[in-house]
Amino acid sequence: PLTPIKLNLQHLVRARKANQPGWEDMFDRFSDSLIDQINALSNIATEFSNFAKMPTGNFQSVSLTKIIDDSITLFSAYPNISIGRNYDPNSNLAVHADREQLHRVFVNLLKNAIQAIGRDKKGEIVVSISIMESKYALVCVVDNGGGIAPEVESKLFSPNFTTKSGGMGLGLAISKGIVEVIGGDIWFETEYGVGTKFCVKLPLTSQDIS
C-alpha cells in the first residue's frame, strides 16, 4: 500500500497548492482511504512479525479441546454458517505446544473455511477430533466452501500465496511452521467445487494440563 499512499498524498498536495475547487472533498475522501491503507500496512507488519517470531514459544502442556472450543466460539456469529463439533467437549486431550500459536492455527483454518464459503450460501463446517495411532490427536476441519483448484494445490503452504484480494497468504505457511515445530503435521484433501478438509496431527502428551 505504500505506493498508493504516496501518490494520493502527492495528488492532494498539488490540488491544495493550485487551490483546486473541491480539494476539501478530496481531502476527506483521501484521508479515509489513507487510514484504510495504513491499517492494511499495520496488519501486514503484524503478520510478518508473527512469522519471524515463530520458532520460539512458551511450550507447555495445553488442552487441545479447550483451544479448539475457544477458536470455534470466535466464529459463531455467521448467520449462514453452522459449525458442528464432532468430539467430546470433556475429553481433555493435552498437547505440548504454545497455546497462542496453536490457537492461531485453528483460527486460521476456520477463517479460511468461512471465507471459502462466502456470505451467499449455506455453509457447513465440522470440526472433529480423534486419536490416531494411540499417540496423536487428529483434528480435521471440513467445509463445503467450493474446494481448491488443482493448479494451486501445491502452492497453498508457500508464504505469500493467496487467491484473496485482501489476503496475505501467510496463514497456512505460519500454521505449518507452528505445527511442525511441535512434531506435528498439517495437510488437506479437497474436491474442487465441493469442499475441503484440513487435518492437523499433533503428538499427545501424558503430562498434566496447565
Contact residues for ligand ADP, defined by CB under 6 A: 108, 112-113, 116, 143, 145, 148, 156, 161-164, 167-173, 196
Residue keyed to cell 485482501:
166
Query: Which of 137, 10, 128 has its CA nearest to residue 64?
Result: 137
Query: Which of 30, 171, 42, 195 has its CA nearest to residue 123?
Result: 195
CB of 35 to ligand ADP, least distance (A): 21
Cell numbers found for residue 72: 470455534
- CA–CA separation, 43 vs 155, rounded Å? 22
- 175 vs 205 by CB, closer to ligand ADP: 175
Q: What is the DSSP letter of 22?
A: T
CB of 139 to ligand ADP, least distance (A): 14
- 81 vs 113 by CB, closer to ligand ADP: 113
CB of 147 to ligand ADP, least distance (A): 6
- 79 vs 193 by CB, closer to ligand ADP: 193
CB of 151 to ligand ADP, least distance (A): 11
Residue 119's SS3 state is coil
Distances in Å between the alpha carbon of 104 and those of 71, 73, 74, 84, 144?
8, 13, 12, 19, 22
- 11 vs 111 by CB, closer to ligand ADP: 111
- 35 vs 194 by CB, closer to ligand ADP: 194
CB of 166 to ligand ADP, least distance (A): 8
